[in-house]
Structure 1
Amino acid sequence: MESGVVELAIIGSGFGGLGAGVMAIEQGIDSFVILERAKAVGGTWRDNTYPGCACDIPSHLYSFSFAQNSEWSRSYPAQPEIEDYLERVTDRYKLHSHIRFGFDVAEVRWIQERTCWSITSREGDTVLASAVISATGPLSQPATPDFPGLADFAGEVFHSAKWRHEIPLEGKRVGVVGTGASAIQLVPAIADAVEHLDVFQRTPPWVLPRDDRPAPSWRRHLYRALPFLQRLHRWRIYFRQEFLSLAFLGNGKIAKGMTARIKQETKTLIDAAFPDSDAAAALLPTFKPGCKRLLISNDWYTALAKPNVDVVTSSIEKIDRTGLTTSDGNHRDLDVLVLATGFAATDFPSPLTVIGRDGVNLTDHWRDGAATDFGITVSGFPNLWFLAGPGTGLGHNSIVFMIEVQLQQIGRALRYMRSESVATIELRREVEEASYAELQRRVATTVWASGCSSWYVGDDGRVDTIWPGTTTEYWWRARRFTPDRYLTTAGRFGEITPSR
């Protein structure tokens, strides 16, 4: 059922989708809709509510530059505070009237004869749009391992991204699978409440101290009165984070020095919690720092050292009604199993089916690599833009910064189309090929291609997720819209040909 016609459709209402909505308003586009599958805004910060959930980028940087928040309560914001911030951005820019909640997009299909996209929900509703911005993000689809016998487990099983708060953990035997960014926060948060906690570790992470502290009231008052001081603080954080990229992008003296420092800081944290060298050895990674995401925590190792917590390094062989068996033959009795196993970040363009010009499925187009131009546009898919798309992920800085850069380019593209009477723009194939070849050539020399198994790396071993440079370089190159990189057709943008 066709239920709407707009100039611009935005899929998702996390940082990307809300930022795109603000961009549309600033461009003078009144005819736009934000399609959201849930009943509230927030994206990953709405969905992830596990105990201890927080951001690992400082709050004053992990926010929009155009919507500074002087009221952050601490250096690293917790999930409820970030969700509240996104709700206030929605209110401030009056985006609610443009949001269609409960619209779970299943398919996005280009209709050539009508010069528009047809966006269909899983319930069968359809919206027509001259242009689409996909802002589903890389952390929207939880990755669930297919352990033998998982369905036979008689206890409770859930993913950390779908935390079931109605299930009490007090006095329970709990297993947590994974030692990544979610586990490192939730394990310390639940360790004291449970009777026993097994942490199943495939690979130990590199962990740095978390410089987290409450924001004093005088600072909040100061930033409220003098916003430029908060902006200076934001830039200070930005360049501090940016400096970390030097450890990931090469093998020079600076990179080696920073890598050595990361290793030493992790070892210091481990040794403080585990005086026994054998126990400490199992927690020390062997891969290069940065190959997997660097984690920050002050209580991860102290939680693992608690008498009711065991770190299990043997792989999981099978699961039965009462627990699971590991490769060393031991059976672990469990009441609750938490899968802190991350997200399907390399399954582009999941969860959407995208059909472009000539009926080409984007999954097929990307079968030999998720080729784009700066992660934003794709050849054969007119008037379609991605936010936080392939090749734009980071291991050191704020993804919100990258999203704002992408929105600068998209805004300029839309302004060009409306002012120059352009109905469609489509990335040239040769531009896409050259851009992807450069990305792959550069990523091969970075830490992300050094051999570890991480969510940055696809099943085929290709690294399609990461931007292999500084965010400063990305800003310089990607913020502009260059018409010569695109094929265009004349016409009035936003004018959809009636069906015959």
Structure 2
Amino acid sequence: MAHDVIIVGAGFGGMGAAIELGKMGIDDIVILEREDDLGGTWHVNRYPGLAVDIASVTYSYSFEPNPNWSRLFAPGSELKAYASHVANKYDLRRLMRFGVEVTGATWDADAAEWEVALASGETLRTRYLITATGFLSQPKLPDIEGIEDFAGTVIHSAKWDDEADLEGRRIGVIGTGATGVQLVPELAKVAGHLTVFQRTPIWVVPKIDFAVPGPVRTMFGALPITQRAARFANSVALEALNTVGVLNYKYGHRFNDLAALLAKAHMFAQVRDRRTRAALTPGYSFGCKRPTFSNAYFPTFARSNVTLESTSIRRVLPDGIEMADGTVHEIDTLVLATGFSLWEKNFPAIEVIGRDGQSLGEFWRETRFQAYEGMAVPKFPNFFCLHSPYSYTGLSYFWTIEAQMVHLRRVFQEIERRAARTVEVTERANAEFLGTMSGRLGRSVFQLGSCEGSRSYYFDPHGEATLLRPSSVIGARRDAHTFPIDDYAFA
């Protein structure tokens, strides 16, 4: 017998979808999670220095505020605890099956159901399939000659080894993205020597972080409106950063120039060596790649036990790393802060075969990456992908989740009203939405800025910046409330 809904992924996206559907009285929901607990990226990632890079009052559900964040930018362990709190409050754990890896899903047109295949060999059936596997779920290994032959300890930031003894070790770190910026200062504190292998510099601006005073937390708990006000203020600032400097670069490029000057001034104040500053300075426009916040990253390179290596890696040796110029850095521990295989393995994270045998992955790679309202794709009935192209709104993922919850509610309400068996976005609606999104990107930093060399994960394999939805948060929420319901075909 088929379930009503199967959700793949027990992170904040999957939990948000389950909460919304539960409010509608849909109870036959199964949430499948390959890890041993919920929380998604905040369960998997636990490397030293892990913290949110969006203020915690904004990086949380608006309908479930947490008055007890210890800092403005909470450590990762608190996000994991918050995820557990949400699951317990909304009684989601009873819906979850952990340690279950989904390998694929195939649409059965005759039964109007999805057949979901598990790695164990088991198959499940469901009327509706929602994938909530997230953007950052498939760890990426660098494609470097000899890396399999390294004789020392290898740790990926997404699979941190809490038992590894790093004290006094000769550590090499590959990767200087947002994870590297958090991780490098922590490793420098314990390493005998730390070598940071930088392929692409990152824009880093000051981090205004502080412990949230006890009286403030008490006030947030007693008067929730005060925390909503703090959330609103932070959201306005992030909205301005995204819509003015990133999405409307054609008109707001001076905003980017000022942000770049701030980052350079921040570096100048903390890095006195001219050559080091030159190596750490990005050559691409501010906003092409997600910037980050840190007060500890730049000072790390002034430590006597830290080396910044910005030339290309030739190969990994059993006991070190050889650079293109022949220099060899001897290391015994290799830390990979190389992020995730975003486009290679996440779009989609499982094989999805829709109507007429259409493969979702092949469709995206052979045509263009696209999804109506960042949610649905033609030829994939009763299917919603929460991490589709053009889905990610702004900088806080919770803005995206909550807009998607509204979208799901409207579609499922219409399914019930029409007593429909299937729902599928029309080719016309999808094409019109794709045209609108492509047009808006024409005035963004991604097309008008200097993004060459940024190696930004915003860009898909076709060279289009389809990860972000070129819309304000307010606009995305409005669209979720007002998109024409007849953009879907119900049968």
> What's the TM-score, normalizing by structure 2?
0.96
Determine the structure 1 residue equivalent to 2:153.
Answer: 156
Give the secondary-structure state (helix, strand or coil) at the position aligned to 1:8.
strand
Aligned equivalent of 2:267: 270
Tell me the equivalent position of 1:115: 112
Counting aligned pairs with the same residue, the percent is 35
Question: Within 2, Cα distance between the matches of 1:312 and 1:331?
Answer: 11
- Does the 8 Å contact 1:388/1:402 carry over to 2? no
Determine if the alignment matches structure 1 residue 129 to structure 2 residue 131: no
Cα displacement (A) at 1:252? 5.2
State the distance in 1 between where 2:462 and 2:254 align: 32
Find out whether 1:411 has 2:409 as its counterpart: yes
Partner of 1:498: none
Instruction: In structure 2, give the amino acid aligned to 1:445.
Output: R
1:390, CA displacement in angstroms? 1.3
Could you say what secondary structure the match of 1:248 adopts?
A: helix
SS of aligned partner of 2:110: helix
Distance in 2 separating the partners of 1:462 and 1:260: 23
Which residue of the other structure, out of 94, 98, 101, is the alignment partner of 1:101? Answer: 98
Q: How many angstroms does 1:158 deviate by? A: 2.4
Q: The residue matched to 1:366 in structure 2 has which SS? A: helix
How far 1:237 sits from its partner (Å)? 1.0
Q: How does 1:255-294 map to 2 (within 5 A)?
A: 255-294=252-291
Residues 172 and 336 in structure 1, CA contact (< 8 A), matched pair in contact too: yes
1:474 and 2:472 aligned:
no
CA distance in 1, matches of 2:483, 2:114: 22
Contact 1:250 1:446 in 2 (8 A): yes
1:34 and 1:98 in contact (8 A); partners too: yes
The reply on whether 1:57 has 2:59 as its aligned counterpart is no
Secondary structure at the counterpart of residue 248 of structure 2: coil
The aligned counterpart of 2:436 is 438
After TM superposition, give the deviation of residue 361 of structure 1 in Å. 0.7
Give the deviation of 1:350 after TM superposition.
3.4
SS in 2 for 1:33: strand
The equivalent of 2:375 in structure 1 is: 376
Alignment of 1:459-470 (within 5 A): 459-470=461-472
Q: Deviations over 1:415-467 (max 9, x none)?
A: 11112211111011121122122222322331123433211112332222111
Per the alignment, do residues 462 and 252 of structure 1 end up closer, same or farther by CA in structure 2, a change over 3 Å counting? Answer: closer
Equivalent residue for 2:2, pick from 5, 25, 38: 5
| Structure 2 residue 80 is the aligned partner of structure 1 residue 78 | no
Secondary structure of the structure 2 residue equivalent to 1:114: coil
Equivalent in 462, 485, 488 of residue 486 of structure 1? 488
> In the aligned structure 1, how far is the partner of 2:396 from the partner of 2:16?
14
> Which stretch of structure 1 is more off in the superposition, 396-405 or 204-213?
396-405
Rounded Cα–Cα distance in structure 2 between residues aligned with 1:481 and 1:117: 26
What is the identity, as a one-letter code, of the residue corresponding to 1:374?
E
| Pairing 1:364–2:362 present | yes
The answer on whether the counterparts of 1:292 and 1:448 sit within 8 Å (CA) in structure 2 is no
Q: Could you report, residue by residue, the CA deviation over 1:41-71 in whole angstroms, capped at 9, with x for unpaired residues?
A: 0000000111001110110110011111111
On the 8 A contact 2:250/2:444 being kept in 1, the answer is: no
One-letter amino acid of the counterpart of residue 388, structure 1: H
The match for 1:402 among 400, 409, 421 is 400
Q: Which whole-Å CA distance do the structure 2 matches of 1:350 and 1:115 have between them? A: 21
Give the Cα–Cα distance (whole angstroms) in 2 for the partners of residues 109 and 152 of structure 1. 39
Q: Is the 8 A contact 2:205 2:293 kept in 1?
A: yes
Q: How does 1:134-145 map to 2 (within 5 A)?
A: 134-145=131-142
What amino acid maps onto 2:55 in structure 1? P
Task: For 2:472, give the aligned amino acid.
Answer: T
User: Using the alignment, how far apart are the partners of 2:461 and 2:29 within structure 1?
Assistant: 37
8 Å CA contact retained: 1:406, 1:479: no
Q: Is the 8 A contact 1:409 1:480 kept in 2?
A: no
* Mapped partners of 1:108, 1:405: distance in 2: 25
Counterpart residue type for residue 262 of structure 1: A
Matching residue within 424, 427, 430 for 1:429 = 427
- Which position in structure 1 is the counterpart of 2:212? 215
2:167 and 2:192 in contact (8 A); partners too: yes
Query: How much has 1:481 moved relative to structure 2?
Result: 5.2
* Aligned equivalents of 1:393, 1:203: Cα separation in 2: 23
Residues 137 and 387 of structure 1 are in contact (CA less than 8 Å); yes or no, is this contact kept in structure 2? yes
In the alignment, the residues of structure 2 paired with residue 91 and residue 483 of structure 1 have an alpha-carbon distance, to the nearest angstrom, of 33
* 1:167 maps to 2:164: yes
Partner of 1:493: none
Aligned residue for 2:190, secondary structure, equals coil
SS in structure 2 at match of 1:371: coil
CA distance in 2, matches of 1:377, 1:97: 27
SS of the residue 1:234 aligns to: helix
TM-score, scaled to structure 1 = 0.94
The number of residue pairs the alignment matches comes to 484
Q: In structure 2, which of residues 157, 172, 181 is the aligned counterpart of residue 184 of structure 1?
A: 181
Q: Could you tell me which amino acid in structure 1 is paired with residue 297 of structure 2?
A: W
Q: Is the 8 A contact 1:369 1:464 kept in 2?
A: no
1:30 corresponds to which residue? 27
* Gaps in structure 1 of 5+ consecutive residues: 490-500
- Within the alignment, does 1:146 sit opposite 2:148 as a pair? no
- Contact kept, 8 Å, 2:45 with 2:157, in 1: the verdict is yes
- Residues 408 and 480 in structure 1, CA contact (< 8 A), matched pair in contact too: no
Distance in 1 (alpha carbons) for counterparts of 2:61 and 2:324: 47
Give the 5 Å matches for 1:317-328: 317-328=314-325
SS in 2 for 1:415: helix
Find the aligned partners of 1:310 and 1:448 in 2 and give their Cα distance. 32
Cα distance in 1, alignment partners of residues 285 and 401 from structure 2: 28
Of the structure 1 ranges 471-480 and 373-382, higher mean CA displacement relative to structure 2 is found in 471-480
Whether the 8 Å contact between 2:197 and 2:309 is mirrored in structure 1 is: yes
Higher helix fraction (1 or 2): 2
2:302 aligned residue: 305
Code of the residue aligned with 1:211 in structure 2: it is: I
For 1:417, give the aligned amino acid: I
